[in-house]
Amino acid sequence: MNDKELMQRAIQRSAENIDNGGGPFGAVIVKDGEIIAEAGNSVTSTNDPTAHAEVNAIRMATKKLGTYDLSGCVIYSSCEPCPMCLGAIYWARLDRLYFAGTKTDAQDAGFDDSFIYDELELDYTKRKLHTEHIMRDEALAAFNKWKQFEGKEEY
Amino acid sequence: MNDKELMQRAIQRSAENIDNGGGPFGAVIVKDGEIIAEAGNSVTSTNDPTAHAEVNAIRMATKKLGTYDLSGCVIYSSCEPCPMCLGAIYWARLDRLYFAGTKTDAQDAGFDDSFIYDELELDYTKRKLHTEHIMRDEALAAFNKWKQFEGKEEY
């Protein structure tokens, strides 16, 4: 399947997901030309606010491959990933991202994607989410323990 | 427990998590003064790149409460949340966030938090993650189906 066919599959998944009681989002992950994971959004059906299509597909793909590292894989998302999903894509080290709908299209359909992008660009003192920074020195002790820990598995 | 004691618990969790084979991160979620979830990072032990302490705690709390909506809850994180976790905090509608270590402290300990924040601020054409935008018109059809679907559960 080529890029257009794979994106068509992600979009088809997003449309079918509405019938299945989920939001209008779908994602497909491919490795070496083979689909290894595909998922819709399941926030409401699983009561999991992190269960976006991309996150679900990443969890499915890493479980299947037995590693948290999806280097060499490509993700096709029916919509531009929100900051949570884009962060997950970076942490999973996916090689490439294709998206179709935009964050503004998602906003028009009632989702907070653009709002969250705007919030992240603000200093934490200016965000609508009330945020306080406390006890940094105590936290540094744990980071120092990590730096000195010889048995650590870096990721 | 007051804010400092709750943060101390998140930090203690982050330090213990190193001994348990995870990264140096911990998070605690509180509702009405009661701890309803606490978790460490489990990326390497579960092969799930999304299993950061905050995401784990959010998934635990929503499962416990039987809703994806954590309005009225507060999260204490041993470190400034990465974009993935901060996005999850917004989607879960948590009321408040307290954090201790900073994204720069995380970077100094070998984690990509600051890099991902910098990437998100760039236009997608300028990111290190190779990204392509295709087939928007086809994706809009699914969003229009959602807008017209009377049975939808908005979230």
What is the DSSP track for A82-139?
PHHHHHHHHHTT-SEEEEEE-HHHHHHTT--HHHHHHHHHS-GGGSSSEEEE--HHHH
Judge contact between A117 and A102, C-beta under 8 A. no
Q: Which B residues in the span 59-78 are in contact with A, Cβ-Cβ below 8 Å? A: 59, 62-63, 66-70, 78
Residues 88-117 of chain B with CB under 8 A from chain A are: 88-102, 105-106, 108-110, 112, 115-117
For chain A, the farthest-separated pair of C-alpha atoms sits apart, in whole angstroms, at: 53
Q: What is the CA radius of gyration of chain A?
A: 18
Contact between chains at A11 and B135 (C-beta distance less than 8 A)? yes
For residues B14 and A139, the answer to whether their CB atoms sit within 8 Å is yes
* Cβ contact B50–A59 (<8 Å): yes
Q: Which of A24, A47, A138 sits opposite B143 (nearest CB)?
A: A24
What pLDDT does B153 receive?
Answer: 85
pLDDT digits (tens, 9 = 90+) for A8-32: 999 999 999 999 889 999 999 999 9
| From B47, B66, B149, residue closest to A66, measured CB to CB | B47
Q: Is B153 a catalytic residue?
A: no
What ipTM, to 2 d.p.?
A: 0.96
Q: What are the Cα distances from residue B30, in Å, to A10, A30, A35, A125, B25?
A: 37, 39, 40, 21, 17
pTM of the model: 0.97
Q: Which of the following is catalytic: A16, A54, A121, A132?
A: A54
pLDDT, one tens digit per residue, over B20-69 is: 889 999 999 999 999 999 999 999 999 999 999 999 999 999 999 999 99
Mean pLDDT of B67-87: 98
Closest CA to A77 of B62, B145, B134: B134
Q: Is B155 exposed, middle or buried (0-12, 13-18, 19+ CB in 10 A)?
A: middle
pLDDT band at A7 (very low <50, low <70, confident <90, very high): very high
Task: Verify whether the Cβ–Cβ distance B116 to A91 is below 8 Å.
Answer: yes
**Residue B58 to residue A49, Cβ atoms within 8 A:** yes
pLDDT digits (tens, 9 = 90+) for A70-111: 999 999 999 999 999 999 999 999 999 999 999 999 999 999
Tokens of A149: 């820990």
- Beta carbons of B102 and A133 less than 8 Å apart: yes
